[in-house]
Chain A
Amino acid sequence: MNNTLLSHLTVGEKGRVLSLTLPADARQRLMEMGLTPGTECSVVRFAPLGDPMELRVRGYHLSLRKAEAEGVAIERL
């Protein structure tokens, strides 16, 4: 089972985006920020209170909430 959700990755883990199951607007925004299917990303850290999380994607750092990350299917790398 190498496929999981982005929100389930732990700090330091890497994954490749498979698909996004989110409301249209949220999906589009995530994709515009570079989280398109096929993109690799890794989890940098979680905020002190556990949410949001910080990702490294396409060479920069992006923070998003677990609620959105739950809609991103990932292949663990």
Chain B
Amino acid sequence: MNTLLSDANPAQEAAVLTRRLAIAGNPNCGKSTLFNALTGMQQKVGNYPGVTVEKKEGTFYGSQGQQMTLLDLPGTYSLQARSPDEAVSRDVLLGRIPGTPCPDTIIAVVDASNLERNLYLVSQILELGIPTVLALNMVDTAEEAGIVIDPEELSQKLGIPVIPLVASKRFGLIPLKQALSRADLPAPKFCAPMPPALAAEAQQIAPFIEAPAQAQFSEAILLLGLSEAALAESRHSSPELRVKIREAQQRLNSAGMDVCSTAVDARYQWISRICAETVRGTPNTGLTLSDRLDMILTHRVWGSLAFLAAMALMFFSIFTIAQVPMDWIRDGLKLFGSWVESQMPDNDFRSLVVDGIIAGVSAVLVFLPQILTLSFFLGILEDSGYMARAAFMMDRLMSRVGLHGKSFIPMLSSFACAIPGVMATRTIEQRKDRLVTILVAPLMSCSARLPVYGLMIAVLLPDTSALQKSGIMLSMYMLGICTAFLMALIFKKTILRSETPILLMEMPPYRLPSARDLLLRMKERAVIFLKRAGTVILALSILLWALITYPKPENPEAKGSEVIAHSVAGQLGHALEPIIRPLGFDWKIGIGLIGSLAAREVFVETMSIVYNVGQDQQGDGVETLQETMRNEKREDGTPVYTPLVCVGLMVFYVLAMQCLSTLAVVRRETNSWRWPAFQFVYLTLLAYVGTFIVYQGGKLLGWQ
């Protein structure tokens, strides 16, 4: 049908057909769930406020087949944005983002179990004068809580269509699409009733505001409610306008009105009247399941124990459940490697394929099951609603550091990968607090460290129980967390000094994580991981192999270490050796450190290539990497990988900033090279000093 129409008059038809919709609403009310249900996309959802921090576009077809583009927006409690993610939502709705025209229609999503607070934003959205449909989401939760809302009545009171929904069960999508497809969707003509004096002043200022005519009045009310400091920061007001606003504020103040709160109060009074007529039923007052769970999970003693137990269980599964498929992958790849080796003539090309590509890539691939296990557990944390509790419990400690508990959420997200962690800092209101959180986020052990820890733990303790291995893993994670706190404290007291921000955080009820969401999350991690293995890691393995193989020593009989020592990589490693010798590292580890500057897991890959190319007798692919490493000797015959060196290496990787992608994201998020450069330097120094202390301190204490 589309092609027929566009044959007739392509440009015009497309313009008529493509409507631009935006989904707006409070955080955590199910906007992304609805977006996914409508577009079939897989945007991240999670049960805590602040999951979505960017606008995301998708398309879907209306009930008559009209194409619509849909924008998913970050959640916000008010159009008066206070953090970068909220600013995105406000700017989209006011048409202030270049290249993103004002939406034709807004889907205002509200959480039916929490109607009053959700309607606050709706009252502001209605004033924009853009056709709006109210998506009354989570009616299932509301019903459980004993709340019944009359959609017809609500629709009449608000003057817009109201569609009850359960987005997570895709219930109500058809009526919603029908409502959205209506050509005659009326633009609301609504203004929250304001006290006359305030309304009069706002009317005066309105014409001077850069906004669609309809939205000027509500923007005027917003601006009048701003404090002096906030007003100075607002980018979209001219100096003349600011003077006008300040004068109006003074007039109102001297008449005894507190502008900041009057407008808010007026909206809530309007909301109370609406709810009195549309909300029926008797809300349950007893303890909900969430309340009961929280009695344990946020309990002084049980809460911390539960957290540690969950972490321990996670690592325990990494060393037990994940171990089985890891062995399969390892054995499979090893068989494959020896088969390829047997099929090819003995030349440099075979060495490239077998010792470079296969050895390198499979050394990393082996860790896929562990990474998926980690992402499964983190998914449960994010989908259940535990994240907000973690932030709640950590707030006291975080406020000692000078941040608020919400900063803990990006830090927890960084366990999967620092990149989403850095992105998640967009929910932090103050720029300096956000920077501090970005600076310390890479100290949280990400999943790319798992291969390094996994390898070093296997070298350190080949035969111990999974429990002990988990213990070591847990302590590495703890080291990262504690260092992150310490560094945050230092930054907040020195270069990024500012007041401790206030904390206001919604605590969502616990929800049962859906298996589908968890699987999707794991799939996404797997895809990212495999893509990296197929591109960056593969390319690096070719490069590393070449650096490790060429130039060859003059003596063609030379074998093993001698070949590597003569190569570019070997020379680099030797050049680095004086610097890293105090850490107990030899030049081969130096090659690994250089290799992993791009990404941490490349360390494992590099060591695999180093020890494969450097094999003294060709052709025995039987030894695993950790066995080779355990047998590795220095020139004086002592083992290279003593316990101290293994622990030192792990500490180095806890602290060092070895991830180009994170640096690139930090550069984008901070808009300058200064911060990523600083971050790289301080973390590398920290890693050096930390490892130095471990190795030299350990030796002083007489350890090996």
Residues of A within 8 Å of B395, CB to CB, are: 47, 51-52, 63, 65
Residues of A within 8 Å of B115, CB to CB, are: 59
Q: Evaluate contact between B405 and A52: CB separation under 8 angstroms.
A: yes
> Beta-carbon contacts of A34-65 to B below 8 Å, as 1s and 0s?
10110100001101111110100011111111
Is B700 interfacial (CB-CB < 8 Å)?
no
A22's nearest neighbour on chain B, judged by CB, is B502
Determine the interface band of chain A, counting residues with CB < 8 A from chain B: 35 or more
B227's nearest neighbour on chain A, judged by CB, is A24
**A52 contact from B77, B291, B392, Cβ within 8 A:** B392
B111's nearest neighbour on chain A, judged by CB, is A60
Q: Evaluate contact between A62 and B120: CB separation under 8 angstroms.
A: no
Residues of B within 8 Å of A54, CB to CB, are: 392, 507
Residues of B within 8 Å of A36, CB to CB, are: 261, 264-265, 268
Residues of A within 8 Å of B504, CB to CB, are: 29-30, 33, 62-64, 68
Shortest distance in angstroms between B24's beta carbon and chain A's nearest beta carbon?
15
Secondary structure at the A interface, as helix, strand, loop or mixed, is: mixed
A63 to B399, CA, bound (A): 14
A35 to B218, CA, bound (A): 21
Answer whether A20 and B82 are a contact pair too, CB < 8 Å, given A47-B396, A48-B298, A48-B393.
Answer: no
Q: Evaluate contact between A28 and B113: CB separation under 8 angstroms.
A: no
Is B78 interfacial (CB-CB < 8 Å)?
yes
Answer whether A59 and B147 are a contact pair too, CB < 8 Å, given A47-B395, A52-B396.
Answer: yes
Shortest distance in angstroms between A26's beta carbon and chain B's nearest beta carbon?
5
A65 to B405, CA, bound (A): 10
Is A76 interfacial (CB-CB < 8 Å)?
no
Chain-A contact segment, one of B299-307, B361-369, B648-656: B299-307
Q: Evaluate contact between B116 and A59: CB separation under 8 angstroms.
A: yes
Answer whether A44 and B505 are a contact pair too, CB < 8 Å, given A58-B114, A58-B116.
Answer: no
Residues of chain B in range 264-298 having any CB-CB distance to chain A below 8 Å: 264-265, 268, 283, 291, 294-295, 298
Answer whether A62 and B268 are a contact pair too, CB < 8 Å, given A33-B117, A52-B392.
Answer: no
Q: Report which residue of B227, B504, B505 has the largest number of chain A beta carbons within 10 angstroms of its beta carbon.
A: B504
Residues of A within 8 Å of B225, CB to CB, are: 28
Q: Evaluate contact between B260 and A24: CB separation under 8 angstroms.
A: yes
> Beta-carbon contacts of B371-404 to A below 8 Å, as 1s and 0s?
0000000000000000010001101110100000
A52 to B388, CA, bound (A): 12
Answer whether A51 and B116 are a contact pair too, CB < 8 Å, given A28-B261, A29-B502, A62-B505.
Answer: no
Where the two chains meet, the residues of B that have a C-beta atom closer than 8 Å to any C-beta of A are 77-78, 80, 82, 113-117, 120, 145, 147, 225, 227, 229-230, 260-261, 264-265, 268, 283, 291, 294-295, 298-300, 303-304, 388, 392-393, 395-397, 399, 405, 502-509
Could you list 19 A-B pairs, sorted by A, with CB under 8 Å? A32-B77, A36-B265, A44-B294, A45-B295, A48-B303, A49-B393, A51-B399, A52-B395, A54-B507, A58-B114, A59-B283, A61-B506, A63-B392, A63-B503, A63-B505, A63-B506, A64-B505, A65-B395, A65-B503
Contacts beyond the supplied A28-B225, A48-B303, A59-B115: 17 A-B pairs with Cβ under 8 Å: A28-B264, A30-B504, A31-B261, A32-B80, A34-B116, A34-B117, A34-B120, A34-B268, A36-B261, A36-B264, A44-B291, A54-B507, A59-B145, A59-B147, A60-B506, A63-B503, A68-B504
User: Top 3 closest A-B pairs, CB basis?
Assistant: A49-B396, A24-B227, A61-B507
